[in-house]
Amino acid sequence: MNIAIIGTGNVGGALASAWAAKGHHIYLGVQDLNQFKGKVLLKNQHTQACSIAEAVAKAEVILIAIPPQAIFDVIEQMGDITGKTIIDATNAVRVVPDPYKTVYHCLADKTKADVVKCFNSTGFENMLNPIYNGQGIDMFMAGDSDKAKATVSSLASDAGFGSCIDFGKDDKVGLLEKFALSWINLAIMQGHGRNMAFKVVRR
């Protein structure tokens, strides 16, 4: 699959590496080709850097892993993304992309892409290594398009996660950001540390 990574920092870098290792073609969409966070990703196989517009044009799937307020800049540069799958991995923790509550809601309103909220609910260290005690931790996703969710679920599996559990449609996107805040609360405020993750168990 051809995947554009917009935001090549902690989250974008971890997922770009995991997907490149699985044979996906990775287009890092960057603001400045000479200087961007995650330049070391160019050492990965099947990985190249280009402008945001070029990366998006080449990809079927676009990962958004930027500060939420940067989404307006990025939308202007992306061009036509009708029918593409966009994964929103952001969390509007400190800054909200006003007037929208989340980047998902901004993308759903301003573009004709199929948006899925995913890869927001755990720390980037767990994206670099999602294996605990020999098992992949779970990932969670929300959004309106079942087709796009099937694609994202398969990419979560490629990144080493256990299940990619459907959190619901767009009315559950806010809840999925709160779920991310719950991880942040436990890991950071309550002092459990960032080597901690969620897995659903059943009997």
- DSSP line for 103-130: HHHHHHHH--SEEEEES-SS-HHHHH--
Q: Which of residues 114-143 bind ligand NAP (CB under 6 A)?
A: 120, 123-124
Q: How far is the CB of 28 from ligand NAP (least distance, A)?
A: 9
**For ligand NAP, the closer CB: 134 or 158:** 158
**For ligand NAP, the closer CB: 31 or 44:** 31
Under the binding rule (CB under 6 A), the answer on residue 51 touching ligand NAP is: no
User: Given the structure tokens 């909220």, which residue do they identify?
Assistant: 117
Rounded CA-CA distance 194/192 in Å is: 7
- Please count the residues of this chain forming the interface with ligand NAP, following the rule CB under 6 A: 25
Q: Which of 89, 115, 176, 197 binds ligand NAP (CB under 6 A)?
A: 89
**For ligand NAP, the closer CB: 74 or 115:** 74
Under the binding rule (CB under 6 A), the answer on residue 66 touching ligand NAP is: yes
* 20 within 8 A of 26, measured Cβ to Cβ: yes
Q: Which of 1, 50, 70, 128 binds ligand NAP (CB under 6 A)?
A: 70
DSSP bridge partners of 164: 139
Distances (CA, A) of 128 to 16, 21, 122, 145: 10, 12, 11, 27
- DSSP line for 2-35: EEEEE--SHHHHHHHHHHHHTT-EEEEEES-TTS
**For ligand NAP, the closer CB: 14 or 148:** 14
Rounded CA-CA distance 116/34 in Å is: 31
Structure tokens at 195: 């080597």
Rounded CA-CA distance 151/171 in Å is: 20
Q: How far is the CB of 105 from ligand NAP (least distance, A)?
A: 14
Under the binding rule (CB under 6 A), the answer on residue 73 touching ligand NAP is: yes
Under the binding rule (CB under 6 A), the answer on residue 155 touching ligand NAP is: no
Under the binding rule (CB under 6 A), the answer on residue 37 touching ligand NAP is: yes
Options 68-76, 108-116, 139-147, 195-203: segment touching ligand NAP (CB under 6 A)? 68-76
Structure tokens at 28: 């890092």
The binding site for ligand NAP (CB under 6 A) comprises 7-12, 30-31, 36-38, 65-68, 70, 73-74, 89-91, 93, 120, 123-124
